């Protein structure tokens, strides 16, 4: 129904599947339940993001007409730190369009350094050897070793990339997750590079065999690999 779709859309927009299942389960037993207004949604988003309150209790309180004193204080803090609230339209656009570009630029910078080992690079910045990187350690690795300039990838984009990998908001990212996020793109880059190398070699072989120069531009384009 419309009520359930509204809740589904809201939770999907917040990209919190664990909250979505709780909300849908809760809404079945509370047919009159609804999140009253945008301010309450903002406070709920902020509290769930911080994971410091029970989701069900939050839903109970936010199903009422008024906000509790505690949640009013949370809303005030949320307004003061908008980066901790549900994704804005700008953030969603960045995730869909800009984040892949950031990753490609970082990988391109790594390959300019002669096949840089991403796993080794990030682990050498793990000063306390706990398998995680802080934001400063992450930025140092990107700027100093990968030599990615602010003109190539902005500070804002790097910080956003870090925040997407910092799933629990604890201020540190798992090196394994970070390497895995790059590895998918790395495999694609390597595959594309190998394909181009094979094609260049194939065309070179065709050209060498074409002693009477009968090979046309069209025939080189359709030459099999």
pLDDT at 159 over 80: yes
Could you tell me the CATH superfamily of domain 95-185?
Answer: EF-hand (1.10.238.10)
Lowest mean pLDDT among 84-98, 101-115, 139-153: 84-98
Q: Provide the pLDDT confidence category of residue 86 given band limits of 50, 70 and 90.
A: very low
Q: Alpha helix (H) ranges present in the chain?
A: 2-14, 17-29, 38-50, 55-62, 69-80, 89-93, 99-112, 118-123, 135-140, 155-165, 175-209, 217-221
pLDDT tens digits, one per residue of 23-61:
555 555 555 555 555 544 554 554 454 444 444 455 455
Stated pTM of the model: 0.41
Nearest 10 degrees: CA dihedral of 91, 94, 95, 101? Answer: -160
pLDDT of residue 91: 58
Lowest mean pLDDT among 20-24, 125-129, 167-171: 20-24
Q: Is 102 exposed, middle or buried (0-12, 13-18, 19+ CB in 10 A)?
A: buried
What are the CB-based long-range contacts (under 8 Å, 24+) for 141-148? Answer: 142/106, 145/113, 145/116, 145/121, 146/106, 146/109, 146/110, 146/113, 146/116, 146/121, 147/109, 147/112, 147/113, 148/105, 148/106, 148/109
Question: What's the whole-number mean pLDDT along residues 190-201?
Answer: 51
* Domain ranges across the chain: 2-84, 95-185, 194-221
Q: Provide the pLDDT confidence category of residue 175 given band limits of 50, 70 and 90.
A: confident
**Six-digit token string for 70:** 């505690």
Secondary structure of residue 136 in the 3-state scheme: helix
pLDDT tens digits, one per residue of 127-158:
888 888 888 888 888 888 777 788 877 888 78
């Amino acid at each position: 129904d419309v009520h359930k779709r509204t809740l589904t859309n809201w939770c999907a927009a917040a990209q919190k599947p664990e909250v979505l299942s709780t909300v849908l389960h809760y809404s079945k037993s509370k047919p009159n339940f609804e999140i009253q207004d945008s301010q309450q949604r903002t406070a709920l988003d902020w509290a769930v993001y911080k994971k410091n309150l029970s989701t069900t209790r939050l839903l109970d309180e936010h199903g009422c007409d008024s906000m509790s004193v505690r949640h009013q204080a949370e809303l005030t803090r949320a307004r003061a730190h908008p980066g901790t609230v549900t994704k804005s339209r700008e953030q969603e656009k960045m995730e869909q369009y800009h984040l892949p570009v950031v990753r490609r630029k970082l990988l391109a910078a790594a390959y300019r350094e002669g096949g840089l080992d991403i796993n080794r690079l990030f682990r050498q910045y793990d000063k306390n050897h706990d398998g995680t990187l802080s934001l400063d350690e992450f930025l140092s690795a990107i700027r100093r070793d990968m030599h990615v300039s602010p003109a190539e990838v902005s500070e804002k984009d790097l910080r956003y990339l870090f925040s997407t990998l910092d799933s629990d908001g604890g201020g540190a990212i798992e090196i394994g997750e970070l390497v895995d996020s790059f590895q998918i793109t790395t495999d694609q880059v390597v595959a594309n590079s190998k394909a181009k190398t094979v094609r260049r070699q194939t065309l070179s072989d065709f050209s060498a065999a074409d002693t009477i120069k009968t090979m046309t531009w069209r025939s080189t384009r359709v030459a099999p690999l």
